[in-house]
């Protein structure tokens, strides 16, 4: 997949919410704010994203994400402008 403009596409990390007693609660309401980069638009500002590359794990602002399906695999993915990347997770 080739991203366009200044969009970053991320495969979100899986979230499992458990209570103290081990009961798994509904994850429908939980939106992860970490994931793995799968595509970076060519217009992304390197002053903003630095050395970000595909395969990097990132922490991002989840308030402005757009949920989508990966066109090849059908997996859930997020897309958002590069300015929403807050950190690269090492």
In angstroms, rounded to a whole number, what is the distance separating the alpha carbons of residues 40 and 48? 13
Asked if the model's pLDDT at residue 67 lies above 60, the reply is yes
Q: What's CA 4's distance to the chain center, in Å?
A: 16
| Structure confidence at residue 25 as a pLDDT band (50, 70, 90) | low
Q: Span 29-43, mean pLDDT?
A: 90
Would you state the pLDDT for residue 29? 61
| pTM, entire model | 0.84
Would you state the pLDDT for residue 80? 96
Query: Mean pLDDT in the chain?
Result: 89
Query: Do the Cβ atoms of 42 and 80 come closer than 8 Å?
Result: no
Which residues neighbour 54 within 8 Å (Cβ) at sequence distance 6 or greater?
A: 37, 38, 39, 40
| 51 vs 28, residue with greater confidence | 51
Tell me which H or E stretch contains 16: none
């Amino acid at each position: 997949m080739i991203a366009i403009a200044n969009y970053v596409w991320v495969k979100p990390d899986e979230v499992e919410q458990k209570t103290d007693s081990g009961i798994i609660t509904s994850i429908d309401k939980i939106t992860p704010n970490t994931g793995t980069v799968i595509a970076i638009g060519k217009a992304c500002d390197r002053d903003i994203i630095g050395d970000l590359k595909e395969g990097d794990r990132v922490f991002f602002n989840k308030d402005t994400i757009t949920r989508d399906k990966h066109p090849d695999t059908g997996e859930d993915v997020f897309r958002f402008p590069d300015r929403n990347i807050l950190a690269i997770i090492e």
